Amino acid sequence: MKNFVQTGRVMPFVAGANVTSGQVVRVGNILGVATSDVANGASGLLQLEGVFSVPKVSGAVIAAGESLTWDASVAAFDDNAATPATGDVTGAAAHAFEAAGNGATVLAVKFTGVPGTLT
């Protein structure tokens, strides 16, 4: 096919701050995981699909399969009962791949590559 660009699982982005490999990054309404360290103002790549161990709000109790809230203020995922604030992403962008209880600070999350709702 002459018009094929790529599979769409990886997306380029320009870092608005220093980014570390494995960090969750929001581009528009999409969440992805940085594939490498990226300096502020430099270009990098985001993995848009897959399951990654990422930060979780310690007090959140999350069921496997639950839709999540990306809490931008603490750079961690919260349960879907959390009240989103400005900059947070909810909805289809990611869901819990496993259950995690109160006190857990890391969660396996399935990133979908689908835009969520930006508050």
Domain range summary for the chain, segments of one domain joined by +: 10-118
The pLDDT tens digits for 29-48 are 999 999 999 999 999 999 99
Closest CA to 93 of 70, 76, 110, 116: 116
Task: Give residue 77's pLDDT.
Answer: 97
Task: Band the pLDDT of 1: cuts 50, 70, 90.
Answer: confident
Name the one residue in this structure whose structure tokens are 């103002």: 41
- Is residue 94 within 8 Å of residue 9, measured between CB atoms? no
Sign of CA dihedral 104, 110, 111, 112: negative
The pLDDT tens digits for 57-107 are 999 999 999 999 999 999 999 999 999 999 999 999 999 999 999 999 999
Task: Band the pLDDT of 6: cuts 50, 70, 90.
Answer: confident
- 5 pLDDT exceeds 90? no
- Is residue 11 within 8 Å of residue 69, measured between CB atoms? no
What whole-number distance in Å separates Cα of residue 50 and Cα of residue 32? 9
